[in-house]
Structure 1
Amino acid sequence: MAGSVLVSLVSVASLAALAGCSSADASEDKPQLKVSGAFMPQPVSDMASGFLTVTNSGGAADKLTSVTSDISDDVTIHETKDQKMRQVKSFDIPADGELSLDRGGSHLMFMGLKKKLEQGQRISVELHFEKTDPIKVDLPVKETTYNPTRH
């Protein structure tokens, strides 16, 4: 009888260990997103651009699908190819990769700003993704010509 109790305890311990492994493996199959280097050059009209990097350390890809902000009711995502800007529905964020929105390339576009923005202010935005919960980010307003080498 003591032997069967020991076998049962070992079986339960093995199942618990396997369950722990499978939950760890499951988290690797999800996007793990982090935002860095966010900024907005000071706008000179009622339009503005926003830039940032989304890093995905997870084992699954995701997509940036939209952006919302109380500073504008019309925030879109744009890519620039062959020196032409066009609105897109989403940006891919590869597994173990990143989405980089940089000056001269892909970016956030804010149309019809509700107020004049000054250098030093912070603009709150919410990034929406296909798989991951929304992420709130503050974009500091920088000088109009601000262009970091890497964010």
Structure 2
Amino acid sequence: MTARRLAAGGPGARPRNRSDRRPLAAVATGAVLVLALGACSSSDDKDSTTKSDGRPELKVSGAYVPQPPTKEMAGGFLTVRNGGGQADKLTSVSSDVAGKVEMHKTVEQQMQQVKSLRVPAHGTLRLERGGNHLMLMELERKPAKGQTVTFVLHFERSGAVTVKAPVEATNYTPKK
């Protein structure tokens, strides 16, 4: 073996004595510890920013009821945002002004009653004109502009959420 190969630490290079081996062992041990600690801290960081149980985290906004033109039925609109890691379902709705509240989806401009509406994980359920919406049936009183309608939204995983919705003008369209 040549002196050049030993000095460069190339293939086949061997330490000249036992004391040259100690720093290499210390470096290798240190590298293993750094990698192990790095793996532990990265998993801790992940756990601190992500919910471990992944439950739905629902927030309802933009609720309103347009003043109905007749006293037979009214529509209800709102947005449900799910910031959680698990989907949920809106399974039923009740109201202080209606004997029955139906959930409808719109398919090819046709309303269809549904048993539930999905709220995707990290997603949004929009109940809006021309799309999915609530139908308030068997009205106990006709909601008038300036009043408030109370909805109780029942979710499969999150339970009941109470929402106060202002009654707006018949032709009201929310700003986007």
TM superposition score normalised by structure 1? 0.81
SS of equivalent to 1:147: coil
Deviation at 1:117, TM superposition (A): 1.6
Query: What residue in structure 1 maps to residue 65 of structure 2?
Result: 40
Query: What residue in structure 2 maps to residue 13 of structure 1?
Result: none
User: Contact 2:65 / 2:77 at 8 angstroms: preserved in 1?
Assistant: yes
Task: Map 1:1-150 onto structure 2 (within 5 A).
Answer: 25-27=51-53, 29-45=54-70, 46-150=72-176
Work out the CA distance in 2 between the residues paired with 1:126 and 1:107. Answer: 15
Larger relative contact order (Cα-Cα within 8 Å, sequence gap ≥ 6): 1
Which structure 2 segments of 5+ residues have no match? Answer: 1-43
Aligned length: 130
Greater Rg over alpha carbons, structure: 2
Identity fraction in percent: 50
**Residue identity in the other structure for 2:84:** G
Work out the CA distance in 2 between the residues paired with 1:89 and 1:133. Answer: 16
Q: What are the superposed Cα offsets for residues 88-125 of structure 1, whole Å, 9 maximum, x if unpaired? A: 01111000001001101110000111012210100011
CA RMSD of aligned residues (A): 1.7
SS of equivalent to 1:64: strand
TM superposition score normalised by structure 2? 0.70
Moved over 3 A (4+): none
User: Contact 2:58 / 2:83 at 8 angstroms: preserved in 1?
Assistant: yes
**Residue identity in the other structure for 2:96:** D
